[in-house]
Structure 1
Amino acid sequence: MRMNVPSSKTYRYIFAGGGMSALSLVYFLSQSKRAKEPMLIIDLSSKSENDKTWCYWSDRPEEFDDLAQKSWKNLWFHGPHGKSIALDIAPFQYHKIRSIDWYTYIKKQLSQFPNIEFLQAEVLQIIPEEKDTKVQSSMGDFYATDKVFDSFTAYPCEINNPKHIKQHFLGWEIESHFPIFKSDAVHLFDFRVAQGKECEFMYILPTSSKKALFEYTFFSAHVREASFYRDKIKSYLQAFYGLGEEDYQIKEEEKGIIPMCLDQRARQRISEKIIRIGTSGGFVKASTGYSFLRTQRINQALAKELEKDHPQGLILPQHIFKTWLDKVFLQVLLEQSKAGSEVFEALFQKNKGSKMLRFLDEKTSFWEDLSLMASVPTLPFMRAVYHLIISSK
């Protein structure tokens, strides 16, 4: 992969944005019949920092398992009233990948292909033209003869819109001065921190007896100032581990806002010249905010389809009933007629952890979905369904 020295103005494929989704699609294309096609990746970041943490679960080997910093076979759920549940997730494992490890590996693999080039520049605009598609950047204009893969366009989820649910969080990876963490399990949800009807929790990934990532997280519409999340983490470390600020070092900090609202725009087809991918294309699972493994699977299927002379079909798999369930769940979180913590508590108390993971991965049957829905508080979900029906008229 050539860096910052484009050899041409014209490529078969241009990637407007070079984040995880774009790089993984290029990676899968490099393993396909399109491996030798000229490709250009344009992104302002050199992807040389550990800017994200990606987690996923699977019950079978996946493409990037070897890059996981740590994997777990056990999860914990802590309810808002202090009840803790050890989740049976067999045969699944839960994996954590540091973005810098993934970027380094991908760039090394792509460096074997001189036809794949990277331009460190800002994407300014994507302009369809009669023949080719123009991508304007801060380093000039480039043209795609076949497709532009767009992860640059903003997803239609507004940060300050009180009707748009977001997953917003700030996390610290800390190193304690003495061994205190049990690293055999992930604390997926700790709702003991929940103060009201907003869905707020601590998410903990312990990687050793001294190191762990603590992320204070909301599934809600209202984003806070960074100091709010930091104060919550400090209080949590003191309350649950007895750690004062002098007892640990903050090794890294990460923060993010992930859209959880559903995109109502027209479905994308693989035959189109401009294809939105990643967060821009709706690859994030709306009801959970997870995207890593989902993105790999979508991109693997997309790369196989692009091998054909006349690729067809939709970019995203269509699960009408499961999409509707996501809408209902997000509406419940938005209305806050029932605390989000209590909704999750009902789900995890009454269902096996492995079943919950299959449900979140959209692998459950219709009847399993119905049984899961029967385990949640009925009234807030009926109210959410009613409001969705009224708003759709």
Structure 2
Amino acid sequence: MDNVDLAVVGGGGAGSLVLAALDRHDLRGLRIAVVDPVRKRGQDRTWAFWGTPGTDLEPMLSASWRQVEVTTPAGRRRLDLAPLRYAMLRSAPVYERAAEAERRLGATRVDAAVGALDDDGGPVTVRDADGAALLQARWVLDSRPRPPRRAGRTSWLQHFRGWWLESPGPVFDPGRAVLMDFRTPQPARGVSFGYVLPVSDRYALVEYTEFSPRRLTDAGYDTALRGYADLLGLDLTALRVREVEDGVIPMTDAPFEGRPSPRVVRLGTAGGATRPSTGFTFSAMHRQADDVARALAAGRAPVPRPAYPRRHLWMDAVALRALDRGAVGGPEFFDRLFDRNPAQRVLRFLDGATTPAEDLAVMRSSPLLPMTSAVVGDAVGRLRARLRPGPAPAPVGVAPDRAGQAGS
């Protein structure tokens, strides 16, 4: 049985970013193992995020935009993001770079599904699904989907379907992405919107998304996408659907346990990287990977910082409660958010990077009475949860990070 310094369990987005960060920080002296039954490759998901140009991700981007649109029933708003930009990253180059990093680091590959991680204070024993020991590791980074530590007071899903559409002639504007378009029919309980990420004037990802408690049927997603294409004035008979992307991401105020035992660290959604109010994940996942690599390079425990400040998680819990109880409508909520704040402040808030003073400005832009009621309700819910803790929820199925609004 192999003994290693670090076992990376799960080779998806979070695991791939970790491998790239370890290579970038030149950690070739570590004994590393990657444990996953599937060797990820190809285009199986799309991530989108914002930030400043010039990071290690730049060579892999499919597209980026300095301007985006947000459309509500009140009108269309064009937002200039400078000095930030919105960027699209597809999975193939991420997996390719991770494979190269794995080779350069001299990592051991174990093609097996992981069952238990036995952490008894010494090296962690990584076991397969049948309980047989695969290896022992000083530290384990685990990015497999896991349920939260306990049930949340509000538990929604971000679920979506997108079509990669190709046109024989120019129909898209490659200089501007559609971030949120709330002209879609709104569900009885939840929020829906469409968006468009153009790679060129003839090729774009067009997607329909809902924030709501339950998924739609396949026919429901296709109907919604056809309706959104009609709103955009697209003639689907003249377009070719090159690829289809589906996914579901948890949106919940339930706490995810980032360090379930002394030498096991969770990353990605299981490690709290998903923003509860939006489903955004990629930027936090990227930060986690860099934190891990920097810590190991400095001889410290590979434990990343919390993905988001506590005050942001509280604000997310309040917003989710207000939306879930129907105290505020989704299009109204986001319209006020972008109308009363600079675009850069909104995006940095959603990324967990705003100051307390900026957070207060964001709070003031929300409807006062409904949100005050949600604050009181959230406080009562927290007290009840402490007095009568509920059972842990069943595992949440997490599919690819949604392009534009999430990440895994």
What TM-score does the superposition give when structure 2 sets the normalisation length?
Answer: 0.86
Deviations 1:115-158 (A, max 9, x none): x1223322222222453222222695322331111112513299
Tell me whether 1:235 sits opposite 2:233 in the alignment.
no
Q: Paired residue for 1:176, among 156, 159, 167?
A: 167
Query: Is contact 1:65–1:95 with CA below 8 Å preserved after alignment?
Result: no
Aligned to 2:232, the other structure's residue is in SS state: helix
Structure 2 Cα separation of the partners of residues 178 and 33 of structure 1 = 46
Deviation of 1:190 (Å): 0.3
Query: Is contact 2:158–2:211 with CA below 8 Å preserved after alignment?
Result: yes
Structure 2 Cα separation of the partners of residues 162 and 309 of structure 1 = 39
Tell me whether 1:102 sits opposite 2:85 in the alignment.
no
Q: Paired residue for 2:10, among 3, 11, 17?
A: 17
Deviations 1:255-314 (A, max 9, x none): 111112134255639x92111111111112222222222211222122211234453876
Query: Taking structure 1 as reference, are residues 360 and 317 closer, same or farther at Cα in structure 2, changes over 3 Å only?
Result: closer
Write the mapping of 1:281-300 to structure 2, written as runs, cut at 5 A: 281-300=271-290
Tell me, which stretches of 5 or more residues in structure 2 are unaligned? 384-408
Structure 2 Cα separation of the partners of residues 252 and 146 of structure 1 = 41
Which amino acid in structure 1 is aligned with residue 155 of structure 2?
A: H
Deviations 1:176-228 (A, max 9, x none): 23321111111000000032452110021011111110111112212112221
Q: Paired residue for 1:191, among 182, 185, 188?
A: 182
Q: Which residue number corresponds to residue 309 of structure 2?
A: 319
C-alpha RMSD over aligned residues: 2.5
Query: Taking structure 1 as reference, are residues 111 and 151 closer, same or farther at Cα in structure 2, changes over 3 Å only?
Result: same
Which amino acid in structure 2 is aligned with residue 188 of structure 1?
A: L
Structure 1 Cα separation of the partners of residues 24 and 88 of structure 2 = 24
Q: Paired residue for 1:150, among 132, 139, 142?
A: 142
Q: Which residue number corresponds to residue 369 of structure 1?
A: 359
Q: Which residue number corresponds to residue 67 of structure 1?
A: 60
Tell me whether 1:333 sits opposite 2:326 in the alignment.
no
Query: Is contact 2:257–2:272 with CA below 8 Å preserved after alignment?
Result: no
Tell me whether 1:141 sits opposite 2:137 in the alignment.
no
Structure 1 Cα separation of the partners of residues 153 and 378 of structure 2 = 16
Aligned to 2:252, the other structure's residue is in SS state: coil
Structure 1 Cα separation of the partners of residues 256 and 207 of structure 2 = 32
Aligned to 1:167, the other structure's residue is in SS state: strand
Q: Which residue number corresponds to residue 85 of structure 1?
A: 77
Structure 1 Cα separation of the partners of residues 52 and 277 of structure 2 = 21
Q: Which residue number corresponds to residue 113 of structure 2?
A: 122
Structure 2 Cα separation of the partners of residues 171 and 265 of structure 1 = 28
Query: Taking structure 1 as reference, are residues 267 and 10 closer, same or farther at Cα in structure 2, changes over 3 Å only?
Result: closer
Query: Taking structure 1 as reference, are residues 124 and 247 closer, same or farther at Cα in structure 2, changes over 3 Å only?
Result: same
Query: Is contact 2:124–2:140 with CA below 8 Å preserved after alignment?
Result: yes
Write the mapping of 1:336-351 to structure 2, written as runs, cut at 5 A: 336-351=326-341
Query: Is contact 1:157–1:164 with CA below 8 Å preserved after alignment?
Result: no
Tell me, which stretches of 5 or more residues in structure 1 are unaligned? 1-7
Q: Paired residue for 1:56, among 38, 49, 55?
A: 49
Tell me whether 1:222 sits opposite 2:214 in the alignment.
yes
In the alignment of these two chains, the number of paired residues is 381
Write the mapping of 1:1-40 to structure 2, written as runs, cut at 5 A: 9-32=2-25, 34-40=27-33
Which amino acid in structure 2 is aligned with residue 229 of structure 1?
A: Y
Structure 1 Cα separation of the partners of residues 40 and 310 of structure 2 = 36
Structure 1 Cα separation of the partners of residues 305 and 359 of structure 2 = 24
Which amino acid in structure 2 is aligned with residue 17 of structure 1?
A: G
Deviation of 1:381 (Å): 0.9
Query: Is contact 2:349–2:359 with CA below 8 Å preserved after alignment?
Result: yes
Structure 2 Cα separation of the partners of residues 336 and 288 of structure 1 = 17
Tell me whether 1:360 sits opposite 2:350 in the alignment.
yes
Deviation of 1:75 (Å): 0.3
Query: Taking structure 1 as reference, are residues 120 and 230 closer, same or farther at Cα in structure 2, changes over 3 Å only?
Result: farther
